[in-house]
Structure 1
């Protein structure tokens, strides 16, 4: 029992003293200036097009959906993705391709660090895929990434 306790202390200390390499993203932390609207509980109402070609497509400029503090982060990611249509006005299929890219954020749980979620999107009827990077730690103004369209309120 004593050996197990010492082993756990050693693992805890080694994990807590190692800091991951983090990058600074544009606008660290919460930068949202506009309220978020919903079409329904599973879909955001996106009305503004981004003019920044890196928005969402580059890990240094992820989509900031927030939700880490109230456990709505994954739901917020789906709300954003459900609002997107492809360039040919068809629905997008998506799947979470994993987490990546540690970054500095005041909303991170460990050492003020967060991880991005990378989603792979495909417009129905095509084989072209794109990757979208989403930050569920911080909030920002939600926009439609360049080249995509958004679901309209019915």
Structure 2
């Protein structure tokens, strides 16, 4: 009985300990979208506005806010955004998700109002240069084309 009681006490203590999550405050201002989002097709956003901010999407302090976590469309919205991009040479881009990073406060976060950014590695076909793009699927914001990139156009 004692052999069972000691591990049980450790489990109870470990599970009841509160962990404090540190999060950056600057990214999680919630939903700031002022313009309706249009789709080219089910898998691609129509992006019409070019960003003039060199940090937009390229810096974790200024991620692209695609939203969708409330409607279970967060990952789909991330792909819709990335599918809309072309490289500087007007060539298609390839991308892969490099993981989650960078906890931040968000009224739309799952646990304790904290969300995580997704980091994607993006490369223009035929190029060796790779860019990191940070995407926030918890909050919504106006979607723009990051500096140096182009977007698919409506036909």
Q: Distance in 2 between matches of 1:94 and 1:13?
A: 40
Partner of 2:83: 82
Runs of 4+ deviating beyond 3 Å: 1-12
Alignment check: 8 A CA contact 1:24 1:103 kept: yes
**CA displacement at 1:26 relative to structure 2:** 4.4
RMSD (CA atoms): 1.6
Partner of 1:130: 131
* 1:61 has 2:50 as partner: no
Q: Distance in 1 between matches of 2:42 and 2:26?
A: 29
Tell me, what secondary structure is at the counterpart of 2:77? helix
Q: TM-score scaled to structure 2, two decimals?
A: 0.91
The structure with the larger Rg is 2
How many pairs align? 152
Alignment check: 8 A CA contact 1:42 1:75 kept: yes
Structure 1 stretches of 5 or more lacking a match? none
Tell me, what secondary structure is at the counterpart of 1:115? strand
CA-to-aligned-CA distance 1:12-36 (integer Å, 9 cap, x gap): 323xx11221101246100000000
Q: TM-score scaled to structure 1, two decimals?
A: 0.92
Structure 2 stretches of 5 or more lacking a match? none
1:13 to 16, 21, 31: 16
Relative distance call for 1:148 and 1:70 in structure 2 (3 A) is: same
Q: Distance in 2 between matches of 1:138 and 1:145?
A: 18
Q: Distance in 2 between matches of 1:2 and 1:49?
A: 63
